[in-house]
Structure 1
Amino acid sequence: MNQVSIRPANLNDLQILLEFEQGVIKAERPLDPFLAEGKLFYYNIPELISNEKTQLLVATINNIPVASGYVRLEKSKVYHKNSTHGYIGFIFVKEKYRGKKISSLILADLKKWAKENNTNELRLDVYTNNTAAIKAYERFGFTKSLVNMRTEI
């Protein structure tokens, strides 16, 4: 495989990031019967790119974007040990490039950026039935903490 480069996203990446967003939604639809029908949008991508409290990265191979991820600095609950944390989201790797630890490279850069911004904790959400993602996050050092439960009434 060619060399993977990680860089901050910019507005020139908007079209591919919109495609990545639909890839995330496509992957999550079978995992979540509560997702609405039709075309969905999870992220305000221009906001993720321009917000100084967020670092949105793209991984490229031969200057072609193949993956993404962000960390957003957030205030923690008053009862948490750390007053702020970094929230990880939009982790996506094009299918052709999965299994090559590209998400770990992105996570490492996001972690570095969060630490440089005085943050000592990272959090993320992952579907309990997304075992491949859970294993990847556990390899990176994440541990399970809460289970969010719901029912339709």
Structure 2
Amino acid sequence: MITREATEQDIEILLEFEQGIVTAERPFNSTLIDGEIHYYDLLQLIKSEDAFVLVAEENNEIVASGYAKIKTPDNNYSNFDRYAYLGFMFVKPEHRGKGINKAVLDELISWAASKDISEIRLDVYSENESAVKAYEKAGFESLLVTMRMKI
């Protein structure tokens, strides 16, 4: 398996991965609209100097993705002025359990460190226990839980 920076030529498979993420998240979020959803502007992320879109390949097949994007806190009380936000984490179902997500995660964290970023954030549904455990195993800790109520 190798990891590499995504290119515009990868967009078709990346769009498929995006829909795979949406499908995986639907059971955790009853507020998602029906039909196709696009969370990301993948071409903009690929072109951005403040983002790093990564793919993992196995036998010349793209099997996983993730991105890191440099952001600034939307408050004036954090003890950091920039952080890396991780997202678009996806591994094809038939390739899960091989440590591919960990390799992608490690590469994204290394990229952030190379940009002098010391804070990394990501979002995960609290009910997605396997993802939560994987991120905890990688060193992440829960910071905030978003609560909601339909009235």
User: TM-score band (shorter)?
Assistant: over 0.9
1:118 positional shift: 1.1
Letter aligned with residue 65 of structure 1: I
Residue aligning to 1:28: 25
Identify the match of residue 64 of structure 1 among 61, 64, 67. Answer: 61
TM-score, normalised on structure 2? 0.97
Which 5+ residue runs of structure 2 have no aligned equivalent?
none
What TM-score do you get using the length of structure 1 for normalisation? Answer: 0.96
* Structure 2 equivalent of residue 150 of structure 1: 148
| C-alpha distance after superposition, 1:88-143 (max 9, x if no partner) | 00000000001111111011110111011110010000001000000000010000
**Offset of 1:33 from its aligned partner?**
0.4
Q: Aligned AA for 1:13? A: D
Distance 1:78 1:105 in 2: 33
Unaligned stretches of 5+ residues in structure 1: none
Identity %: 44
Q: What is the total number of aligned residue pairs between the two structures? A: 150
Who is 1:135 aligned against?
133
Task: List structure 1 segments (4+ residues) > 6 angstroms apart after TM superposition.
Answer: none
Residues in 2 aligned to 1:15 and 1:55: alpha-carbon distance in whole angstroms: 18
Report the counterpart of residue 14 of structure 2 in structure 1: 17
Report deviation, 1:5.
Answer: 0.3
Residues of 2 paired with 1:30 and 1:93: CA distance?
18
Counterpart residue identity of residue 96, structure 1: E
